[in-house]
Amino acid sequence: MNIAKMIDHSLLRPELTTDDIRRGCDIAGRRAVASVCVRPSDVEIAVAALAGTGVLVGTVAGFPHGDTRTTTKVAETRELVEAGADEIDMVLHIGRLRDGDTGYVHDDIAAVVAAAHGRIVKVILENAHLTDEQKILGCRLTEQAGAHFVKTSTGFAPGGATLADIQLMRATVSPHIEVKAAGGVRTLDTLLELHHAGATRFGATATETILDDYAARERGEQPITATPARHHR
């Protein structure tokens, strides 16, 4: 099991300096994770820092609230792709999803998918603000709009990824749509439990802790199993 290639190393906190971004990219490169997920203004820095490492550069659109206009999300996505972003994590319009405005939500996502020109698009539902019925609707609209992942959270809401949400999202979308867990994935046990439930990518800041724990378990220092997790927030 290649745990590193399930991790999107998250560098999204607003207080991070340019040096912090470069250090985070160094961690991502050395640990050979799937990607870094950086703020839009940091895409060029990450592209330069990760050149030749095989680590993808991800970034965000409509972040963190999802309430910018579709035209703004489209323009942002086009700029980010031109800057070298490989993956786009967009926030859908949470309020319009709660309204049940399926046309708006679908078209908002579809426009970003088109603007991404084939790059991976992950759609953040921000589940902490949604009922189960709204989560199901958001997942279905994401798939219909042509995106590649459904994602639980931004990491900036009152709650993050939960086991119940991963199970619900995995059961709702087709097998070719992947599920990303973000928000509160701070331990290997949490990651493994959510992976067993169907998540294939994880947004994490505790990347080194998780990977060091996994390496220790591979050496036989403790079993590579997930203990039941109560909360992932």
Q: What's the full length of the chain, in residues?
A: 233
Structurally, the chain folds into a number of domains equal to 1
Residue 124 inside a domain? The answer is yes
Active site residues: 89, 151, 180
Domain membership of residue 140 (yes or no) is yes
E-assigned strand segments in the chain: 7-11, 35-38, 56-61, 87-91, 120-124, 149-151, 178-182, 201-204
* More confidently predicted of 222 and 49: 49
| pLDDT over 70 at 96, yes or no | yes
In a domain, 232, yes or no: no
pLDDT of residue 228 exceeding 50: no
Could you list the residue range(s) of the whole structural domain that residue 27 is in? 4-218
- Tell me which residue of 198, 162, 213 sits closest to 183, measured CA to CA: 162
- pLDDT surpasses 90 at 221: no
Looking at the chain, the whole-number percentage of residues with pLDDT higher than 90 is 93
- Average predicted confidence (pLDDT) for the chain: 95
pLDDT in tens, 166-182: 999 999 999 999 999 99
Note whether residue 225 is domain-resident.
Answer: no
**Which pLDDT tens digit goes with each residue over 29-70?**
999 999 999 999 999 999 999 999 999 999 999 999 999 999
Per the domain annotation, does 81 fall within a domain?
A: yes
Amino acid making up residue 178: E
Give a yes or no: residue 195 inside a domain: yes
Alpha-carbon span 220 to 178, nearest angstrom? 31
> Per the domain annotation, does 233 fall within a domain?
no
CATH code of the domain in which 135 resides: 3.20.20.70
Q: Is the pTM of this model over 0.85?
A: yes
Q: Which of 65, 61, 64 shows the shortest CA–CA distance to 111?
A: 61
Whether 231 is in a domain gets the answer: no
Closest CA to 21 of 9, 5, 7: 9
Give me the phi and psi of 120, to 5 degrees please: -65, 130
Residues of the chain above pLDDT 70, percent = 95
Q: Locate tokens 């579709």: which residue?
A: 70
pLDDT mean over 107-131: 98
Distance between CA atoms of residues 191 and 185, nearest Å: 6
Per-residue pLDDT at 84? 98
